[in-house]
Structure 1
Amino acid sequence: MSDEAAIMADGSISAGNAAPHTAIPNAKTGEPMPARLLGAVADARPDGAPEAETALERGPAATIAACVRDGLLHPGQVAADAGTRIAAADRKRHAFSVLRAEQATAESVGLMERDDLDVLPLAGVPVVVEHGVPLAGEPMPWGPVAAADHHVVARLRAAGAVVMGLVAAPEPSRWVTSAGTERVIRNPWNPTRYAGSAAGAAIAAGLVPVAHGCDGLGEVRVAAACCGIFGIKPGQYTVPAAGPWSSLVEHGVLATSVDDAALALSVLAARPDLAEVDPPGRLRIGLAVDPPSRLLRVDRRWTAAARRAASVAAAAGHSVEPTALPYGNALLAASLRWLALGAREAPALLQPGRLPRRARHRVALGRTVHRLRLARPAQIDRVEARLLEFFERYDVVITPTLAAPPPTARAWHFRNRPATLLAGARFAPFTPLWNLVGWPAASVPMGMHSWSGTPVAAQLAGPPGSESTLLRLAAQLETRRPWQRTAPETPPGRFRR
């Protein structure tokens, strides 16, 4: 193994992606890390086959952190390699709005001076944060330079994570089909398809092992499903509020493995218990594959993904039965509330006049919704009451994460409002319910779509406080049905658009 090998986001070692004339030294002795130790950090076979022997008992982020804490990896080298990898890949991916490779490398070297390095849960782990969350010294998308870190950024840094940059975020009040102004975020599995979010694309491309994302109407879970990675939105108040739109938006996590996502969420929530993902006790699980509206249709491959997850859970000893979720008018209520909140929160933006024209139009539409009182708290109360009754019978519900393959990669921010709304409703009708009521939900990869060449996934959701249950169940599903952690560098074959 070459001394110039670089540690990848999926935990593997690659000589080709190393920064020139660099080596991974032992952080304590300064000597190059022996090949046998590099091998211990290497990932399992990339196809994730169950029979693969692996030295990675935990996810790649957890492995990087353990090696940094033990002096087997230098955090400066990890950050330098990640910066080189991102700079090379983002020329065609356009996921990053701010890349801070030099600053991140300097900050990671500073980790060696911390007295608590040996206990930092994310020591030296490269992460990205969604743009729009304040990062000290970096410009906000529609405002001036941030004076201080947001709580979630501060918690990541306190835990030893190294922020490599900011990834593109949707415009305020945008729907799930947008991924940033004037850019098209392509899916690493099939470039002709949408990635769900820039954070999801960065993880699936192997640029970093962990990403922060804001989940409003399902963005974190949508991106995870599109890109074949794991994503979780915690329940309301688990992580410090997401600012404007906070009653519908939660700070979530995307990662290549459940273990890494649990570790990162435990940091964001300041709850170390969330990092423990031992198998749960026997759960009562409902399988609900029907869409929230009779006007919507679900692609049978996505229905099969939910059934596959339920089958794996049943084989693990859980009680699983078909059921129907009491959606009521939840999808309409979530859409109206999203528009109304956009109108209410626009003045909270530092420089609302800098919002794109189409965003201002949506804010105006939201004012109309607010004036006519079309979004009322009673709507949420009715939906939540029905769900509380539903969860008296179940601990977890499994649904498809999406209803169709990702839409064609195009500039959705230039599409007309009805087309955008219709595409979002057809594509992701299963996710908004859990934002409306503020309950936790996650997306778990469950195979590949037969003709779109993109992943399919199942959504796990539960009542308030069930984050640990969802993480433990998802980890159990991952153990029994592992997935390929990152997309191949060259997607195979030709795809249907």
Structure 2
Amino acid sequence: MTTSEEQSQGRKETRTSVHVFRDDALGDLDAVGLAAAIRRGEVSAAEVARDAAARVRDADAQLDAVQVHLDVPAHHDADGGAFAGVPTFVKDNTDFAGLPTGHGSAAFVPRPARRHAGFTRQLLSTGVTVLGKTRLPEFGFSPSTEFEEGPPVRNPWNTGHSAGGSSGGSAALVAAGAVPVAHANDGGGSIRIPAACCGLVGLKPTRGRTVPNAQGRQLPIDIVVDGVVSRTVRDSAAFLAAAELHHRNPKLPSLGLVEGPSDRRLRIGLLVDSPNGARTDDATRAAVTDTARRLEGLGHTVTPVELAIDPRFTEDFLTYWGLLSFLIGATGRTMGAEFDRHRMDGLSRGLRATYVANWRRTPGVLRRLRRTREAYAAAFRGLDVILSPVLAHTSPPLGHLNPSVPYATLIERILAYVAFTPVNNVVGTPSISVPAASLTPEGLPIGVMFSGRPGAERTLLELAFELEAAQGFPGIRDV
């Protein structure tokens, strides 16, 4: 029985949280702490991989987050890497040699990849041990990891709710304590959305900060960037520093290792309601304004700001989103000989139909989207950071964003939910989701977002470190 059928019959799920933290080789350690324990010889990489695999099996039995679980973990020889021996997962829209890349779709039967994707090599350069691949919604289009057929990925904080998308499988495993960090990528919010839903840190880097995404760099506007989701700010900072040793973009300022807050006091703009007109719900509004007050108490200056983007931005981004679905439908046989675009899910088909009906608008859409960087830059005059929600409302019950929902209703729901994140993808700027101090009455985290100028990851990480130290992040074991 699907989730949507359960809801349509009026069933109410018992509120259940899931975590697999225990007294084993991983303990309560984050990736930085675990790598240090391995270097000191307190635990071995083999012990960590064995215990992480056991945790993953237990978590996945309730969360359905794993697409492929390797029987023999893939160890790598980057012994000096910052994350040497740390277990992780690769998202199933990114090639890992020998494993199929399914993109969350039932429209084709994937073939094993012949070689690693560029970002996979960058991830492996940090020394991680790969345990498998995580699930995502079809082609990463949905902000919830749900499917027309098959179980959804469940939120470990409350299994009746969405874990977010499209990196929902990765976020669910990290939040549940199965692994400390996992691969995620972001083409409209897909790092930050699941981080917000699952109480994690999710940094979308500046365009080009990590190895360019193979799919994204073929697009008229490259909106896709890769990174990780983590439970601590220092893990996200350590990952970017280690990744920079493998790939250093000379067009961006060097990042290096960010290890804590800065003494510099910042000018922060407060944006509570989205430029697309979607009103933020009360719980999210309270979380963002409480964060603003805390930052003021820490000596930062917080003032309201407007992001005066073109009023057609949402419609234009939706058309561009449809272009992506159209291109996949047209070129899908490169992924598998049996590819059938008619078997793509309802969201993908609806996006494609939207584009087919509006394809003549493409030149104007691209022109206006590219101009968004001007409005974004204008909003930052006199500011260092913008504070906003990640999402316009908290994580919805499973079924609300299921691709089987009629397209007109589904896209209306998505646009009322994903109202803040896409701007950074179009402009190419960095943005980080961090947990607010409070939970919803349903026991769900709420994410707040810091956005910056191009190349400003250091500023965002320093501010996130300061907030983490000042208020802490809610722990799933306390639910």
Which TM-score tier does this pair reach, normalised by the shorter chain? 0.7 to 0.9
Distance 1:85 1:310, change over 3 A: same
- The residue identity in structure 2 corresponding to 1:310 is A
Match of 2:335 among 342, 351, 357: 351
Deviates more, 1:180-189 or 1:62-71: 180-189
Specify the alignment match of 1:133 in structure 2: 94
Runs of 4+ in 1 over 6 A off after TM superposition: none
The number of residue pairs the alignment matches comes to 432
- After superposition, the CA RMSD in angstroms is 2.5
* 1:467 aligned residue: 457
For residues 305 and 131 of structure 2, what CA distance do their matches in structure 1 show? 43
Q: Structure 1: state its 5+ residue gaps.
A: 1-9, 19-23, 25-40, 44-58, 493-497
Which structure 2 residues correspond to residues 94-243 of structure 1 after superposition, within 5 A?
94-100=64-70, 102-104=71-73, 107-108=74-75, 114=77, 117=79, 119-141=80-102, 142=108, 143-172=110-139, 174-179=141-146, 182-196=150-164, 197-243=168-214
Give 1:245 deviation, angstroms.
4.0
Given that residues 126 and 164 in structure 1 are in contact (C-alpha distance below 8 angstroms), is that contact kept between their aligned partners in structure 2? yes
**Maintained 8 Å contact 1:194/1:407:** yes
Partner-residue secondary structure (3-state), 2:362: coil
Which residue is 1:33 aligned to? none
1:319 aligns with 2:301: yes
What is the DSSP-based 3-state SS (H/G/I as helix, E as strand, rest coil) of the residue aligned with 2:184?
A: strand
Compare 443-452 and 226-235 and name the one that shifted more: 443-452
* Aligned equivalents of 2:145, 2:411: Cα separation in 1: 11
Cα offset, 1:91, TM superposition? 1.4
Distance across 1 between alignment mates of 2:126 and 2:192: 24
Q: What letter corresponds to residue 476 of structure 1 in structure 2? A: E
Q: Provide the secondary structure at the position in 2 that maps to 1:275.
A: coil
**Structure 1's 367 and 239: CA in aligned 2 closer, same or farther, altered over 3 A?**
farther
- 1:313 maps to a residue whose letter is L
Q: CA deviation at 1:454?
A: 0.7
Partner of 2:267: 284
Aligned to 1:291, what secondary structure does the other structure show?
A: coil
Q: Distance in 2 between matches of 1:449 and 1:417?
A: 31
Partner of 2:174, secondary structure, is: helix
Q: Aligned pair 1:392/2:381, yes or no?
A: yes
TM-score (norm 2): 0.84
Q: Is the 8 A contact 1:339 1:369 kept in 2?
A: no
What TM-score, normalized by structure 1, do the two folds share? Answer: 0.81
In 1, Cα distance between the equivalents of 2:256 and 2:27? Answer: 25
Q: Secondary structure at the match of 1:427?
A: coil
Q: Distance in 2 between matches of 1:187 and 1:308?
A: 24
Alignment check: 8 A CA contact 1:192 1:408 kept: yes
Structure 1 residue 198: deviation in Å?
1.4
Query: Structure 2 stretches of 5 or more lacking a match?
Result: 1-18, 103-107, 249-253
Shift of 1:364: 4.2
Distance 1:279 1:421 in 2: 39
> Does the Cα contact within 8 Å between 1:168 and 1:179 map onto a contact in 2?
no
Whether 1:409 and 2:415 are equivalent positions in the alignment is no
Counterpart position of 1:457: 447
Bigger mean CA offset, 345-354 vs 397-406:
345-354
How far does the alpha carbon of each residue in 1:68-116 deviate from its partner, in whole angstroms, 9 at most, with x for none? 122222000000000011112211211001011x321xx44xx5xx5x6
Paired letter, 1:86? V
